[in-house]
A and B are shown apart, each in its own frame.
Chain A
Amino acid sequence: MSKIVVTGVGIITPLGNTLRQNREALKDGLCALSSIEIFDSRYATLLPFGEIKTTNQNFKDQLNVSEPGVTRTTLLALHAFEQAITDSGLSAEEIQSFDTGFISGTTVGGMCISDELYHDANHNKVGSAYLNSYDLGSVSIYIQKRYGIQGITDTFNTACSSSANALMYGARLIQNGFAKRVIAGGVDSLAKFTINGFNSLNILSSAPCRPFDAERSGLNLGEGSAFLVLEKEEEVKGKKIYAELSGWANTNDAFHPSSISDNGEGPYLAMKKALEVAGLQPNQIDFINTHGTGTENNDEKESIAMQRLFQTPPAFASTKSNIGHTLGAAGGIEAAFCLLNLIHQEVYPSLHFSHPIETTGLYPVPQYEKKTIHHVMSNSFGFGGNCSSLVFSKV
């Protein structure tokens, strides 16, 4: 089988608008969780969020978006998509080739526009400009049309593992001969829908989240986007290569719609099968970017699953302590962070940790350090029992 390599990265998070800015902030252990300034919500100053402090109008100006009906979710995705294709040096011809796929993951799509949606759904006689922009497909369909993408396009929504699954699908499209290259990743923007949804489940923390800490009290929501350009190794002679996407797996925990089983069966199986696809033994993984949301349920069950598979787990951290949980974008953003681990041979601190969970006793990476890294794993788990793990390897 051909190796699938990453030749381009585009990213935007509350830590910065480029991969370089994100690396600097991660190195410095910056936490971008704050009150909301741009988005309108009752919880704007009551809870911390990972908000990107750029207005929609600024994004539209930067990205030359002048047509009506374009949502923030689409703008964030467009920013990351443009960066990724530029970084990989893809020509317009390559982007428009029937061999180029485009796969995105999102959980909120155009539903970030709640006021217009409310009026369109309930009251309006004449629809707003967003009528065709509320669904999840609208984000990738906008980008598909704007760039004239002709290859396979798709949108995943498997909750918080959406963009990990988009990356996995992209790699498999290439391996199965349905595409030569795929731009894959995901996006989500802050939305009243998700803020109030997670709040109704009592899992939003009123302080910056504390992944894997005994005193953790829930997650923070964030927004962002990341896309990776995946290509067959033999097709990319002379190009810069970030890493190989060497392993992937998706499983189902088959336990509960919104929490993980006691022995972390789904996470365990996802990590185990991803290692099998990569042809690696557990002890070859040097670092894990965990799902690590900071909820009572996730962090303990993920720890148990890691201990079942690795006995003594490798170094691990949760970058959700920097930017919060970006839901459908998390898998893509954390994949980009894994590439930074590999290229720069370094790990970044997991923030706000003081005492380990009593039952598992695991300590995330406490500070920035250089580290020899050959293989990194990234975990993304979502509602509906959805569990995905990706493995990136040094080339």
Chain B
Amino acid sequence: MFYIHQTSCISHQPTFHEVDLENLNRSDNNQLLAVEPKYSNIPIGQLRRMGRALRMGVGTGMQLLEHNQTDGIIIGTANSGIEDSITFLNQILDYQEGRLTPTNFVQSTFNAIAGLLGMITKNTGYNATHVHRGLAFENVMLDAIMRLNENPEHSYLIGGVDEISVRNYRMEAMAGWYKTEEVSNLDLYQTETPGSLPGEGAAMFIVNHKKDEAIAKLRAIQLLNVLEPKAIAAQLSQFMQQHLSDTEPIDLFLSGENGDQRFFKYYAACEKVIGPNTTIARFKHLTGEFQTASALALWLGCHFLQTQSIPAHAVKYIGDRNGLNRVLVYNNYHGEQHSFMLLERGGGN
């Protein structure tokens, strides 16, 4: 459990400065690339060397670290600066392992985002990078929960970041993870084909045990591996029983449905467990699909709780709850890595 105090987000939508989720940015060529800001908060000499993932991660992280002292930095990223990795690999093979400059190699180090944030802000505290594909950010949250259990006075920067690189896109597309027909993000959920629309982005949070003035409270999370839809539904039911009393209904079920018809059965099974009174909303048409999209789901959950509203294009089903106090997020990646997050408005009770 922890409280979320400040957030920062870069995505395909305007989320970094003035947030506007009402006027949806359309996908472009079946992709939802991040709208990057100018990054006035990154030292210019460093910014020049950074690839997208580093820029997005350091940019969102610095937006929060400029105003907050933290006791550590915990980042989730499945691929970090994969464009730099493959650029370096190409140089190795194109030049038959000749002498290379180390820039792309150092920049593609997976813990470069957490490391640079620590270096720029002189933060000698805990510094971790989780890279477990579709559960990288969930492990970040679990790590933060444990760090705060161990050190209740501490405060941490946590976040999730991933980029679409041209070459990585090729490989994921060949593996069948993306739509092959042209689809707009507006129509993502109406498709009856496999694959989703790729996205990218970064979301960062300041978390601690201070209840006052918190945006939201993360009450619980659960991480699950390969399971059948029936078993996921049973786990969700148990998760809700364990963490919610009868007087604490779920107002919003935020679903990671991504238009890939192979995985629809998981979301359908969970919607059944949630029941007819809860509003259902989806977010992958805003963010696109990627390994750490759940970090953006957490950001959206916080935003909905804060503004007490959900953009109409995100709503799948309107329940009969008044107010927006509790959000349950369910996400899965490739149908193999699943997670639940239970989020509550403000400091909670």
**Chain A residues proximal to chain B, CB less than 8 Å:** 41-43, 107, 111, 114-115, 117-118, 120-122, 124, 126-127, 131-132, 134-138, 140-141, 144-145, 148-150, 152-159, 165, 169, 172-173, 176, 178, 192-193, 195-197, 199-201, 250-258, 265-266, 269, 382-386
| A178→B129 contact, CB < 8 A | no
* CB atoms of B111 and A159 under 8 A apart: yes
| Cβ contacts under 8 Å, A150 to chain B | 224-225, 227
**Shortest Cβ-Cβ A-B pairs, 3 listed:** A384-B115, A137-B133, A127-B174
Query: Are A254 and B175 touching (Cβ within 8 A)?
Result: no
Residues of B within 8 Å of A148, CB to CB, are: 226
Known contacts A117-B89, A141-B133: A251-B126 contact under CB 8 Å = yes
Contact of A192 among B92, B110, B121, B136 (CB under 8 A): B92
Contact A43 B97, beta carbon cutoff 8 Å: yes
What's the least CB distance linking B347 to chain A, in Å? 23
Closest to A42 in B: B97
Which of B106, B119, B121, B128 is in CB contact (< 8 Å) with A165?
B128
The residues in B between 123 and 154 inclusive whose CB is less than 8 angstroms from any CB of A are 123-136, 139, 142-143, 145-146, 149-150
A123 to chain B, nearest CB (A): 9
User: In the bound complex, what is the Cα–Cα distance between A145 and B334 (angstroms)?
Assistant: 14
B89-131 residues at the A interface, CB under 8 angstroms: 89-90, 92-93, 96-97, 99-102, 105-106, 109-112, 114-116, 118-119, 121-131
Contact A254 B123 (CB under 8 A): yes
User: Is the Cβ of B131 less than 8 Å from the Cβ of A156?
Assistant: yes
Known: A137-B131, A155-B131, A196-B105; 15 extra A-B contacts, CB below 8 A, are A111-B85, A114-B92, A121-B170, A135-B79, A136-B78, A144-B226, A145-B336, A150-B227, A154-B130, A155-B133, A178-B142, A196-B92, A251-B126, A252-B115, A258-B106
Interchain nearest-CB distance for B207 vs A (Å): 16
A41 touches B97 (CB 8 A): yes
Q: How far is the CB of A62 from chain B (nearest CB, A)?
A: 25
Q: B316: CB under 8 A from chain A? A: no
Residue B273 CB within 8 A of the other chain: no
Q: Mark B212-242, 1 if CB is under 8 A from A, else 0.
A: 0000000000011111000000000000000
Which of A115, A157, A199 is within 8 Å of B131, CB to CB? Answer: A157
Determine how close the nearest CB of chain B comes to the CB of A195; give it in whole angstroms. Answer: 8
Could you say which residues of chain A place their CB within 8 Å of the CB of B115? 252, 257, 383-386
Contact A251 B130 (CB under 8 A): no
Bound Cα distance from A303 to B43, whole angstroms: 32
Expressed in whole angstroms, the Cα–Cα distance for A3 and B121 within the complex equals 35
Count B interface residues, CB 8 Å. Answer: 64
Contacting pair B226 A254 (CB below 8 A): no
CB–CB B174/A158 < 8 A: no
A131-B171, A252-B115 known; A122 vs B90 contact (CB < 8 Å): yes
List chain B residues, Cβ under 8 A from A149.
225
**Residue in A closest to B132 when the chains form the complex, CB atoms:** A155
Contact residue among A159, A176, A192, A250 (Cβ-Cβ distance under 8 Å from B126)? A250
Is the beta-carbon distance between B130 and A131 smaller than 8 angstroms? no
Q: Does B321 contact A (CB under 8 A)?
A: no
Closest to B336 in A: A141
Which of A152, A251, A255 is within 8 Å of B142, CB to CB? A152
- Closest CB-CB distance, A255 to chain B, in whole Å? 7
Across the interface, name the chain B residue whose C-beta is closest to A250. Answer: B126
Question: Which among A41, A155, A176, A385 is the interface contact of B127 at CB below 8 angstroms?
Answer: A385
Interface assignment of B86: CB less than 8 Å from any CB of chain A: yes
Residues B97 and A196 in contact, CB atoms below 8 Å apart: yes
Chain B residue at minimum C-beta to C-beta distance from A249: B126
Contact: A265 with B131, CB < 8 Å? no
Chain B neighbourhood of A254, CB < 8 A: 118-119, 121-124
List 10 interface pairs A-B (beta carbons < 8 Å), by A numbering: A121-B171, A131-B174, A140-B132, A156-B130, A165-B128, A193-B105, A200-B101, A258-B106, A384-B118, A384-B129
B125 touches A201 (CB 8 A): no
**Which residues on A sit within 8 Å (CB–CB) of B135?**
137, 153-154
| Contacting residues, chain B, for A117 (C-beta < 8 A) | 86, 89
A42 and B171: CB pair below 8 A? Answer: no
Q: Is B116 within 8 A of A192, CB to CB?
A: no
B193 within 8 A of A: no
- Complex Cα distance, B136 from A136, in Å, reads 11
Q: What residues of A have a CB within 8 angstroms of the CB of B223 in the complex?
A: 152-153
Given that A137-B132, A250-B126, A251-B124 are contacting pairs, would A385 and B171 also be in contact in the complex, using a CB cutoff of 8 Å? Answer: no
Q: How far is the CB of B164 from chain A (nearest CB, A)?
A: 13
Q: Which residues of B contact A140 (CB under 8 A)?
A: 132
Contacts of B118 in A (CB 8 A): 252, 254, 384-385
